[in-house]
Structure 1
Amino acid sequence: MRRQTQECKEYMEAGEKYLDCQDRQLTSVMQDWPKDINHLLLARNKIQVLRDNMFSQFTQLKSLDLQQNDISMVEDGAFSGLSQLTTLLLQHNRLKTASEEVLLPLPRLTYLRLYDNPWSCQCSLDSLVRSLQLPSNRNLGNYAKCAEPLLVVGQKLKKLSVDSLCRDDNQVDRGTGGGDGGRPRLPLIKVKPEATSMCHTYVFPKLLLDCSNKDLDHIPSDLPSDIVKMDLSSNIVKHLRPKQFLLSKDLKLLNLSGNSLRHIDTAAFAGLLYLRELDLSNNSLHYFQYGVLEDLYFLRKLSLGNNPWVCDYNIHYLIYWLKHHPGVSYTGLMCSEPQEFRGWRVEDYVKTYNGECPKDRQTGGMDTGQGGQGGSDNEAQEVAGETGEQLPRPLREKKRNRFEIIRLS
């Protein structure tokens, strides 16, 4: 069921009511919005300040998405009345400070995103940081980092030493006004922004981390642990290193298409026990190392198209794994090299490689490595009689044929 409400979309999903007001240039909430909604999506609007009691009429609200606005201030009573709220998204805004009072009306809050805000880690942030660091708040404020002062730039709020927040707030800035004479200044630290601050997190309908088209040349090191879908497509990642997705244990869909992947280490997908879809299309892969796919017990879909697969012995592991996992649907496995197999299905190439030796050419238990010794001489003579050719003997100099094919049984 869908209807328009102030240009917003109202709909039901799984028995719960959603109001989607994303990308509407809104600066506040409207009083005539339905009061019985469970999920309010306000991402990518122009909201700057969250005022007291701004959402108090939505008493049944379970999730509130305010990411990617221009929010620079949250009044202490902004979330009053939201006693049922479990999910609050405030990432990608302009917040510098907030107090613990903001979270007090939210007794059921279990999921809070605050990263990619320019947090000023000084005394005014003390109560919020102490609240985030409580063991019971393990999923509140993960990945949020200090933007100032210089001494703590890049430190996570969850790991910050709270005792130092209110100690000499301004000591970092000394030396800039000329009052300290020759006292050495703190070195300017150039901090590389974390990749997740460049990405977008979407909660509905499933937790998705969208890092596509961000010019990433590596897998971010601070990947959220509760993400279900991850899109890393259209970047410039060349190498997947061991255990880079280890913390993302709930991941079910991973899109790595359109990168420059040439090499995947054996333990690159370690920990992804519940992954169901893996997209590796449009890369530069030649083969998989032995063991690369071993942790993917529940994989159901594997996209491999537009890779320059090389049909030699190295490709056998991939076919072996697929053969023993018949529930996996895969596409795009075609030989690119060498020239004589270009355009072949890799499975067909492997079948010709492993074709059985004709019965009239089999040598039984002949030890080809010791062809001139012991009882194998008679066997060698029998085979020579069948083929009409003399088998090579390692210690005898003789004129050889241009090609010699030896089948090792």
Structure 2
Amino acid sequence: MQYEMLRYRRCWREATDLRLASVIPGHSAAWSLRRPCEGPRRHSRSGPSGLVSPNCLESTESGHVFVDCQERRLSFIPTANTWSNKPKHLLLARNRIKVLPDGAFLGYENLDSLDLQQNQISLVEDGAFQGLTKLTTLLLQHNRLQTLSEEALIPMPNLGYLRLYDNPWNCLCPMDSLVRTLQVPSNRNLGNHARCAKPIWLKNMKLKHIDPELLCKEPDPANNQQSDETGYTGVLEPSSIQSKPDATTVCFTYHYPQIRMDCSNRGLTEVPSGIPDNVVHIDLSHNSISHLKARDFHAAKSLRTLNLSNNNMEHLDKGSLTGLLHLQELDLSNNNLTFVQHGVLEDLYFLLHLKLEGNLWVCDYSIQYMVYWLSLHPGVSPSGLVCYSPLEYAGDSVEEYVKAYNRECPKQQSRPDQDQTDPELWNTLMEAQADEKKKQSADLSIISSEKKP
């Protein structure tokens, strides 16, 4: 608005000077040599021309040029000549783009991936992706698409990864060509998890599984699909009870520069299933996951960072972190954990950062496994391991508590779960046992010598 006001004032001054130059002798006529002030600039179909470049981040990783325009409130596709180098990856997620017109990506012929998820896209014209012959990855999930023609995909012969889920697909005749294309066996990674939103008799059916013949076939109006006797039951997908939500549909997935999943604030009560094995970062914070179960992350073998903060979590099963051999950062902060049972951390060989603040750590015998494990992994940088209770230790470092505990009770016998004790206690017990064996051996030697004649 401020820019438009300044432009209006400049135009008014130009017009005034032109009038004065024509009627007042000696008045400068310099303005008359300039082009008259133009009206609002016209916008091309691919985006506004002549506008200031959006405040996007251009970077290069492994020789690939990335342009990150996520969350820039864009309502148009920036023209290709906006960037200093031709991008290989264009990230336009979480903007306000509503339409992809014909030729929207002309000039982006080097693109390998295009991320358009979480916009407001309701229309993709058939020629929108013209020129993207090298594109392999297209992300259109979490938009408002009801229909999409196969024609829109034809300009992308190398497309091998297409995400379309969380769109309100209207599975009628105009979707026939797209559904048939998605069901070609060689297109196994195109359109997975996308489901019909309407009509009612096809609702929740996967585009991959629907019979294309049904799209152009209207149901008999005399039938009532909700009736047991005359219902339109031949096309309904059997309802299945899923014990867990599916990560690929519940979470937002970002593929570049590294594959990460944002599952935060999704109302989850447990870790979703189907986490892909190539995900590097996953954020499960600010949910209601109170309990980590064994094998929750067994398929996520590539994870480097795992954020489980702010979940009111109370318990971690043994085996809940099994398989995370490459994990480097684990955030368990702001939960309700009181201790971590023996064996939970055993697979975390390469962990570097462990965030533990904001929990209810109880400084008693059960906390010693955590300190013991940290003592065996000096490369790990823990934070927030502070006693919450009992009251006399509140605010003390857990490590200092364990040291004081061992000084005060050096000869304490182990409990049945002695595998959770501090190694210093174990050493004390073994030394005592060794001394006892030596004493027994000495006694036997004396008895043996006394019996000799």
**TM, length-normalised to structure 1:** 0.74
CA distance in 1, matches of 2:270, 2:228: 44
CA distance in 1, matches of 2:96, 2:382: 44
Counterparts of 1:184-333 in structure 2, within 5 Å, are 184=231, 197=249, 199-333=251-385
- Pick from 10, 14, 17 the counterpart of residue 65 of structure 2: 17
Change (3 A) 1:138 1:177: closer
Provide the aligned C-alpha RMSD in A: 3.8
- Pick from 122, 126, 138 the counterpart of residue 88 of structure 1: 138
In structure 2, the partner of 1:6 is 53
- Pick from 135, 145, 157 the counterpart of residue 107 of structure 1: 157
Q: 1:281-335: CA deviations, max 9, x gaps? A: 1100011122212222222111111111112232222223222222221111122
Helix, strand or coil at the partner of 2:58: strand
Q: Could you list the runs of 5+ residues in structure 2 that have no partner in the other structure?
A: 1-50, 413-427, 438-442, 444-453
In the alignment, structure 1 residue 128 sits paired with structure 2 residue 178: yes
CA distance in 2, matches of 1:222, 1:230: 13
Deviation at 1:93, TM superposition (A): 0.8
CA distance in 2, matches of 1:135, 1:274: 34
In structure 2, the partner of 1:340 is 392
In structure 1, the partner of 2:120 is 70
The count of aligned residue pairs is 361
Change (3 A) 1:167 1:36: closer
In structure 1, the partner of 2:411 is 357
Deviation at 1:201, TM superposition (A): 3.0
Question: 1:50–1:74: 8 Å Cα contact kept in structure 2?
Answer: yes
Identity of aligned residues (%): 48
Question: 1:174–1:185: 8 Å Cα contact kept in structure 2?
Answer: no
Q: 1:334-356: CA deviations, max 9, x gaps? A: 22222333333222333344453
Deviation at 1:176, TM superposition (A): 5.5
Deviation at 1:5, TM superposition (A): 5.1
Question: 1:121–1:165: 8 Å Cα contact kept in structure 2?
Answer: no
Deviation at 1:213, TM superposition (A): 2.7
Q: 1:81-110: CA deviations, max 9, x gaps? A: 112222211111112232444333223333
Deviation at 1:198, TM superposition (A): 5.3
Deviation at 1:233, TM superposition (A): 1.4
CA distance in 2, matches of 1:331, 1:42: 35
- Greater helix share, 1 or 2? 2
CA distance in 2, matches of 1:216, 1:286: 22
In the alignment, structure 1 residue 58 sits paired with structure 2 residue 112: no
Deviation at 1:8, TM superposition (A): 3.9
Deviation at 1:152, TM superposition (A): 4.7
CA distance in 1, matches of 2:228, 2:346: 63
Q: Which sits farther off after the overlay, 74-83 or 122-131?
A: 122-131
Question: 1:195–1:216: 8 Å Cα contact kept in structure 2?
Answer: no
Change (3 A) 1:10 1:253: closer
Q: Which sits farther off after the overlay, 136-145 or 279-288?
A: 136-145
Helix, strand or coil at the partner of 2:388: strand
Question: 2:333–2:358: 8 Å Cα contact kept in structure 1?
Answer: yes
Counterpart amino acid of residue 230 in structure 2:
R
In the alignment, structure 1 residue 33 sits paired with structure 2 residue 101: no
Question: 1:10–1:20: 8 Å Cα contact kept in structure 2?
Answer: yes
Helix, strand or coil at the partner of 1:309: coil
Counterpart amino acid of residue 274 in structure 1:
H
Q: Which sits farther off after the overlay, 83-92 or 29-38?
A: 29-38
Change (3 A) 1:181 1:134: closer
In the alignment, structure 1 residue 166 sits paired with structure 2 residue 218: no
CA distance in 2, matches of 1:204, 1:210: 13
Deviation at 1:146, TM superposition (A): 2.8
Counterparts of 1:178-189 in structure 2, within 5 Å, are 183-184=230-231
Change (3 A) 1:149 1:323: farther
Q: 1:49-98: CA deviations, max 9, x gaps? A: 32333213211112212112222232333222112222211111112232
Question: 1:175–1:181: 8 Å Cα contact kept in structure 2?
Answer: no
- Pick from 165, 173, 193 the counterpart of residue 143 of structure 1: 193
Question: 1:250–1:272: 8 Å Cα contact kept in structure 2?
Answer: yes
Q: Which sits farther off after the overlay, 309-318 or 276-285?
A: 309-318
In structure 1, the partner of 2:168 is 118
Question: 1:207–1:228: 8 Å Cα contact kept in structure 2?
Answer: yes
Question: 1:94–1:118: 8 Å Cα contact kept in structure 2?
Answer: yes
Q: 1:153-207: CA deviations, max 9, x gaps? A: 334444x2x44653774339764599x99734779x8999867545433334432
Deviation at 1:251, TM superposition (A): 1.7
Change (3 A) 1:165 1:44: farther
CA distance in 2, matches of 1:341, 1:165: 71
CA distance in 2, matches of 1:274, 1:341: 35
Deviation at 1:112, TM superposition (A): 2.4
**TM, length-normalised to structure 2:** 0.68
Q: 1:11-35: CA deviations, max 9, x gaps? A: 2322443444443342454475348
Q: Which sits farther off after the overlay, 334-343 or 120-129?
A: 120-129
Deviation at 1:117, TM superposition (A): 0.8
Counterpart amino acid of residue 57 in structure 1:
G
Deviation at 1:254, TM superposition (A): 0.9
Helix, strand or coil at the partner of 2:178: helix
Counterpart amino acid of residue 93 in structure 2:
A
Change (3 A) 1:267 1:154: farther
